Structure 1
Amino acid sequence: MTHALVCLPFAGGGAGFYRAWKDLPDHAPRIVPLQLPGREERFIDEPFHDVLEAADALAPQIAGLAGDGPVALFGHSLGAVLAYELARRLEHDPNVALSHLFVSGSPGPWTGRTRRATGLPDSEFVARVQEFAGYEHDALADPDMRELLLPILRADVEMHENYKPVSDEPLRTGITSLRATGDRLVTREQAEEWRSATTGAFRLVEPDGGHMYLIDSPLPLIDAVAAALPS
């Protein structure tokens, strides 16, 4: 049975990023984007400001979205810690057959950021976020779009920068950590920290590219998923 890969967005992103992945290879899992409040079709909903509260609210949705088969989780940057906290909850959900956690562009969950963007004035905030991401989001260059996007982006960044795990108990679920070779935000050693977050299998995958390597192609993730999950 084909795995469902439930995908969590990075800061400021939405489910549309993953919905745009078309013509994937035969070995790809079934992509199941998880939409967060405050963006796209949920634009009028209040965004989350706390990772733990977000995971509590999102976990009950997974069974209905993913169906009856095996489920893996994926998240990039902010999405990585959201996926990790979801995995912690889903390990205790008898309605979800959680098989693997894929985290990308993220230090281990116990490593907080030393440089922060939360609380900066708008122009400095945008510059700092773009510095973190290693790319410039076209929509933030448009004044009208920036006005719409900034509240969501600020909420996401606040959620990420204030995140602290409630437990240091490792997961049972295996973890694959992806970190692009040109990532200037996350070091190889930080990506390796996820090894301590599980008693199951661990693998580090290093695709080419920068921190936002997924913008160029989803194939590094698809290949990593195929390598980790039974066909």
Structure 2
Amino acid sequence: MSTEEGRTLAARDAGFARALLPMLLADLKLMEDFRYQPEPPFSFPITVFHGAGDDRVTEEGSQAWRALTTGAFHKHVTPDGHFFLRTDPSRDWLLRGIAAALPPPPPSFNWRAS
């Protein structure tokens, strides 16, 4: 969602704006206070999904996740931009990619448990 889209949504729905504001402020606070502290890489696999048309996260930025694991690293790229989840084909592509990246459930897993 672009800034303009956010303004349009907020203008149409004040409740939406009130609900969204605390989350946005919390995100801004996290970004302001965060300082990266180098640590040894993880050993688990990392899978990255990147939009080639993204104007916020570069190809190099998405590839940088590789340095954070000694395990497997997989990167999947869609031609869409930063908000690629907003299109049905990309959403389906992402869900298939996540399903492929996750290990299968154990044989004892009960899909129908409530």
Aligned mate of 2:81, from 204, 210, 215? 210
Query: Identity of paired residues, percent?
Result: 33
The answer to whether residue 98 in structure 2 is matched with residue 225 in structure 1 is yes
Based on CA coordinates, which of the two structures has the bigger radius of gyration? 2
Structure 1, unaligned runs of 5 or more: 1-128
Match of 1:172 in 2: 43
1:177 partner SS: strand
- Deviating beyond 3 angstroms after TM superposition, the runs of 4 or more aligned structure 1 residues are none
Structure 1 CA distance, aligned partners of 2:23 and 2:99? 33
Structure 1 CA distance, aligned partners of 2:38 and 2:60? 21
The answer to whether residue 64 in structure 2 is matched with residue 186 in structure 1 is no
Match of 2:2 in 1: 130
The correspondence of residues 75-224 of structure 1 with structure 2, limited to 5 A, is 130-131=2-3, 136-137=5-6, 138-142=8-12, 144-145=14-15, 146-217=17-88, 218-224=91-97
Deviation at 1:168, TM superposition (A): 2.3
TM-score in terms of structure 2 length: 0.70
TM-score in terms of structure 1 length: 0.38
| Number of residue pairs aligned between Structure 1 and Structure 2 | 100
Structure 2, unaligned runs of 5 or more: 105-114
Structure 2 CA distance, aligned partners of 1:204 and 1:221? 12
* Alignment RMSD (CA, Å): 2.4
